[in-house]
Amino acid sequence: MILDKKLEGLLKTKKFFSLSQEEKAFVSAKMTAEEYQNFRLILCGSRNSLKKIRTAPSPHVKENLMAAMRAKKAKKQPLTVSWNAITSYRIPAWQAAASVVFLLCSMFLMKQQVVYVENEMAAPLMVDIDTVYETIYKTDTVFEKVPVFLTGKKNVNVKPSSLERDSNFAEKDANILLTNMETMGNEMNTVLNDISRNRLLADSTPIYKNQIHPASNSWLSSPPRGRTAGEDADLMKFLTEIN
């Protein structure tokens, strides 16, 4: 059983004998006439009696709460910007119009002020003198000596006679040096010294200046003597087969 809106409305407004036939039929389906009257007594009586006990909280409750509210707000205030309050704040139309006029006037006055300052600038001015430090950057050429190494090929599995070896290597070196002589001129002596000092091209045999001039050394233009590595290998193979 439920106390629906219609039944509640009837209970609050009508006594049982005041109900129409239709209403009586509706009520009778739910309760007896006696129950209806008892229900009505409770609903009407409670409306009066419950509302009589309205009390208000003591004033110090509100004071305490407002103090707590202010304390919380004071703690929070410096940290947050209330954008919502700024954007939703409304002012009267005349205030908005007045502020626009004020802005325009102030802009106009500012412009006037600039002209006045320009006139004053025409007067002689005192110039303060102060020491100015300037940094000067100087550039200079620095020469650096870079050693030059020349490389050459050497057969490592051939053991020619010392003369042949000397002549073979000397021939190659001479060709290189002749080429360099045409272009490098005075650097020839330095290169020769490097060759003799470092023994890179001439193995362990020193090369002297007078030995490598093509005019005075006819062997430079003659074909090389001795065996190549391939010939040497063939020879060894042949000798092995014979033996």
Q: Which C-beta is closer to another protein: that of 4 or that of 118?
A: 4
- Kindly write out the interface string for residues 20-39 of this chain, putting x where it contacts another protein by CB under 8 A and - elsewhere: --------------xx-xxx
Token duo for residue 109: 């006055």
Residue 87 within binding range of another protein, rule CB under 8 A: no
Among candidate residues 163, 164, 145, 160, the one with its CA nearest the CA of residue 232 = 160
Q: Tell me how far, at minimum, the Cβ of 101 lies from another protein, in Å.
A: 16
CB of 227 within 8 A of CB of 158?
yes
CB of 205 within 8 A of CB of 166?
yes
Q: How many residues bind another protein (CB under 8 A)?
A: 49
Distance from the Cα of residue 95 to its chain's centroid:
48
Residue 49 within binding range of another protein, rule CB under 8 A: yes
Distance of alpha carbon 139 from alpha carbon 159, whole angstroms: 56
Residue 88 within binding range of another protein, rule CB under 8 A: yes
Label residues 91-101 b or e (16+ Cβ within 10 Å = b).
eeeeeeeeeee
Among 15, 20, 61, 179, binds another protein (CB under 8 A): 61
Distance from the Cα of residue 1 to its chain's centroid:
72
Residue 93 within binding range of another protein, rule CB under 8 A: yes
Long-range own/partner contacts, residues 25-34 (CB < 8 A, 24 or more apart):
30/1
Residue 91 within binding range of another protein, rule CB under 8 A: yes
Residue 50 within binding range of another protein, rule CB under 8 A: yes
Q: Which C-beta is closer to another protein: that of 35 or that of 234?
A: 35
Q: Which residues would be at the binding site for another protein (CB under 8 A)? A: 1-5, 34-35, 37-39, 41-43, 45-58, 61-62, 64-66, 68-70, 72-73, 76, 82, 84-85, 88-93, 95-96
